[in-house]
């Protein structure tokens, strides 16, 4: 299967590393935003074609699908272009930066019948899979999901130390992970939503600190704290407080409430959540089935983000 990679930043690297471990998959082209960086990534990974034009990348011989690891504001229209070209698409989160745009992506998927999936990687991390399976089996009941999303990002620089052409967003990017995960683990849309945010950064124009609260119809609570001001351990950490135990997920790793490691090495074929998501995307294409984290399944996360956005003061 030939893939077109769209984007040359940090997450494109994660996908390229993951795809290299999946049998029968080749990256035929990479489409970037900065020519120098795109050419360098193509050389590093042995990708035979690179370009700055998405149509050109999709038109390379044998390309069946694209993975969008491009800036958030480009996700929706690029996904539409990919599907209109008759190609399957995996979109990095969020699938769009508004609910209206997400609805359009979902409608195009329905009309074309192509595979369209969002990389909600938390669904695939072995740590979260371990918890999900026990909830599904009735062994656990989630009472409170406490999540911390902390970065130190006071300048517009990406994870590779390169200048960004766009501005990241705590709500429409980072909160999207936890909102989808909470609704995935509880099996319900959030019933009540609350949000608070700090003042906007004078140059970036975005809130640097945010607090989000959600409740599910079953009574489960989600508390999410986000900051771009945190000078300390970076990333997102999840504490599952359940009826008969507590577990803490740090990406693909899991410990119990007393910091004792839980062996999740047998949960899936890999310990890399990005690889597992890519494998699901490719398997869904080959088997002609709806993938876990299809755009339709992820509509609820976008709807909840829209509700949260509407709770903020006008203009935020």
Peptide bond into 94 cis (omega under 30): yes
> pLDDT per residue over 87-135, tens digit each?
999 999 999 999 999 999 999 999 999 999 999 999 999 999 999 999 9
274: left (phi over 0), alpha (psi -120 to 50) or beta: alpha
pLDDT at 179 over 70: yes
Predicted local confidence at residue 157, as pLDDT = 75
Same fold, 2-121+273-294 and 123-257+301-311: no
DSSP symbols for 60-123: STTEEEEEE-S-GGGHHHHHHHHHHTT-EEEEESPS-SSHHHHHHHHHHHHHH---EEEE-GGG
pLDDT per position as a tens digit, 193-208 = 999 999 999 988 899 9
Residues 68/92, Cβ–Cβ less than 8 Å: yes
Architecture of the domain whose range is 123-257+301-311: 2-Layer Sandwich (3.30)
HSE (side-chain half, CA atoms, 13 Å) at 37: 16
What tokens were used for 287? 């088997």
Report the pLDDT value the prediction gives residue 234, as an integer from 0 to 100: 86
Distance CA 253, CA 9 (A): 24
Residue 119, beta-bridge partner list = 92
CA distance 60 to 239: 45
Q: Indicate if the pLDDT at residue 166 is higher than 80.
A: no
Structural domain boundaries of the chain? Answer: 2-121+273-294, 123-257+301-311
pLDDT at 156 over 90: no
Instruction: Decide which of 3.40.190.10, 3.40.50.720, 2.60.260.20, 1.10.1740.10 is the CATH code for 2-121+273-294.
Output: 3.40.50.720
Of 79-83, 91-95, 120-124, 168-172, the one with minimum mean pLDDT is 168-172
């Amino acid at each position: 299967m030939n893939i077109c990679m769209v984007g040359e930043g940090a997450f494109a690297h994660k996908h390229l590393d993951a795809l290299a471990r999946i049998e029968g998959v080749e990256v035929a082209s990479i489409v970037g935003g900065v020519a120098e960086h795109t050419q360098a990534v193509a050389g590093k990974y042995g990708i035979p074609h690179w370009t700055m034009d998405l149509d050109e990348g999709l038109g390379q011989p044998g390309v069946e699908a694209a993975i969008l690891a491009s800036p958030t504001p480009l996700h929706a229209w690029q996904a539409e272009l990919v599907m209109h070209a008759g190609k399957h698409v995996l979109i990095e989160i969020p699938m769009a930066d508004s609910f209206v745009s997400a609805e359009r992506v979902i409608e195009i998927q329905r009309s074309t019948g192509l595979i369209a999936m969002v990389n909600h990687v938390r669904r695939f991390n072995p740590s979260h899979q371990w918890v999900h399976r026990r909830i599904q089996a009735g062994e656990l009941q989630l009472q409170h999901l406490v999540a911390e999303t902390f970065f130190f990002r006071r300048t517009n620089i990406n994870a590779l130390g390169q200048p960004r052409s766009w501005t990241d967003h705590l709500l429409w990017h980072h909160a999207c992970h936890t909102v989808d995960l909470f609704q995935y683990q509880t099996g319900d849309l959030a019933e009540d939503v609350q949000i608070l945010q700090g003042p906007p950064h004078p140059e970036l124009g975005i809130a640097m600190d945010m607090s989000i609260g959600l409740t599910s119809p079953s009574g489960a609570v989600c508390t999410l704290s986000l900051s771009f001001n945190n000078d300390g351990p970076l990333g997102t950490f999840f504490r599952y407080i359940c009826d008969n135990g507590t577990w803490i997920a740090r990406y693909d790793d899991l410990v119990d409430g007393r910091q004792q490691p839980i062996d999740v090495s047998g949960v899936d074929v890999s310990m890399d959540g990005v690889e597992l998501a890519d494998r699901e995307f490719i398997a869904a294409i080959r088997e002609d089935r709806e993938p876990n984290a299809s755009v339709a399944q992820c509509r609820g996360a976008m709807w909840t983000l829209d509700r949260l956005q509407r709770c903020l003061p006008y203009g935020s």
